[in-house]
């Protein structure tokens, strides 16, 4: 299939996935399944509460993740990947593989 640069949708895809934390959040949800907000904070200690909230909201707005709030005190909120969001798994795996290969490539260049 011919790809016409003027109609390229890579920019649209990157707009949804770009960010330091979104791919990491998605990989955790894909691997571990449903997680509570504080569980995500614990497995990503470098992210601030504000940034995690922002990234989760953006992913929810794009129908990539589901957010379920349980009416209890204290509030219980769980996040999981949607069926639609699961379609990102091969893309994230390919990005991971490319990143690993690139790291190895750079290491080989330094050792030459």
What is the rounded CA–CA span in Å between residue 64 and residue 79? 10
Tens digits of residue pLDDT in 78-87: 999 999 999 9
pTM for this predicted structure: 0.84
CATH architecture, domain defined by 10-111: Orthogonal Bundle (1.10)
Q: Which among 92, 112, 111 is positioned nearest to 16, based on CA atoms?
A: 92
- Cα pseudo-dihedral 70, 88, 51, 38, rounded to 10: 40
pLDDT band at 1 (very low <50, low <70, confident <90, very high): low
Strands 35-36 and 65-70: unpaired
Q: Do the beta carbons of residue 92 and residue 23 sit within 8 Å?
A: yes
């Amino acid at each position: 299939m011919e790809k016409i640069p003027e109609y390229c949708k890579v920019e649209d895809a990157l707009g949804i996935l770009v960010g330091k934390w979104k791919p990491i959040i998605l990989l955790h949800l894909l691997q571990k399944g449903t997680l509570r907000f504080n569980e995500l904070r614990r497995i990503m200690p470098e992210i601030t509460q504000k940034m995690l909230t922002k990234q989760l909201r953006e992913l929810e707005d794009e129908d990539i993740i589901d957010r379920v709030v349980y009416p209890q005190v204290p509030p219980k909120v769980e996040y999981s990947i949607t069926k639609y969001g699961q379609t990102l798994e091969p893309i994230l795996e390919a990005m991971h593989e490319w990143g690993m290969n690139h790291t190895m490539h750079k290491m080989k260049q330094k050792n030459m």
